Amino acid sequence: MDKIEILLATFNGDKYLEEQLLSLINQSYSDITITISDDGSTDCTLDIIEKYMKLYPNMIKLLPKNNNHSSCKNFLYLLENSVEKYCMFSDQDDVWDKNKVMKSYHKMKEYEANKQGNPILIFTDLTVVDKNLNVISNSFMKFQGLCSKNVSFNKLLLKNVVTGCTIMMNNYLKEKVIKSKNHWDKVIIHDWWVALIASKFGEIGFIDESTILYRQHETNAIGAKKRKTTLSNILSSVICFDLKKEMKYYRDLLDSIKNQAGLFCNIYEDDLNQSDNQLLVKFSQLDNSNIIAKINFLIRNHFYTNYFLESVVIIILL
């Protein structure tokens, strides 16, 4: 069996950390290590970590303190310091299904059998739960209105569908990600960045079942937000709609997406063909195009989402 390294990022997580650690320790796939990076906790998080390091000295280790000051940089710091062939990201406040590692590993091996030497990312669905683990939705993908098939590079460039705490990656993907280590402060979020790299240079596989209880509480770093689908929900959103605030949100997000596209091009220029380089440069500089040229470019290259109104906003603001 291959050893799997679970990369656990912590910050002031003492309320739920112990429950998550137990779900990792009790995985049916037993050949695991848990590597932890704490981002300056001031609660009892480090006490809990030290307790479990004493109980499981051969399984759990804590990396030297590194003031990353964001969950994104903390996860990428963990990745840089990982040593095993396969690794997985873990949040501090969820609960993993006991077969999560096993299922992801089997799917990884399926992909590797056909794509030897390729960077590979495996991700899964999640069950959305409240702070007491009561189920809010059995499918995070449906809850968020996400499509697991939208993992082509152009689709992912606009919208991420890969949730970090469900990811397993192989060493080939890890090496590609670490190549960008000097620029991690410019990355929007770690899972989106890793998914982009996997999509462009390797393969992405999806397990269409939940492997994790994705806990929602008042201190979530990101969390899940239900997509408005019914007519009554949409109408209530329109009544409460703050156009100025919403436009600012999309404008800021799309500026970040364009910057991330330019960053990707700069870092991986030597690994991309001429066509890919030109496309990324054009995308990152769309501000310089008139509306007709912009629409033509975006539609021709499939830069749109599954939702018409969202796609219209993107075309207008990009």
DSSP-assigned states of every residue in 189-238: -HHHHHHHHHHHHSEEEEEEEEEEEEE--TT-SS---PPP-SHHHHHHHH
pLDDT recorded at residue 206: 99
- Classified as helix, coil or strand, 58 is coil
- Spell out the per-residue pLDDT of the chain, length 318, in tens: 899 999 999 999 999 999 999 999 999 999 999 999 999 999 999 999 999 999 999 999 999 988 777 889 999 999 999 999 999 999 999 999 999 999 999 999 999 999 889 999 999 999 999 999 999 999 999 999 999 999 999 999 999 999 999 999 999 999 999 999 999 999 999 999 999 999 999 999 999 999 999 999 776 555 556 654 444 454 444 455 566 777 788 888 889 999 999 999 999 999 999 999 999 999 998 888 888 888 888 889 988 777 666 777 776 776
Instruction: Round to whole Å and give the CA distance between 36 and 169.
Output: 17
> What CATH code is assigned to 4-215?
3.90.550.10
pLDDT recorded at residue 101: 99
Task: Give CA separation, 104 vs 3, 35, 145, 220, 257, in Å.
Answer: 13, 18, 23, 25, 29
pLDDT recorded at residue 251: 84
pLDDT recorded at residue 241: 55
CA torsion angle 77 83 86 89 (round to 10): -30
Contacts of 281 (CB under 8 A, 6+ apart): 262, 265
pLDDT recorded at residue 242: 65
How many residues does this entry show for the chain? 318
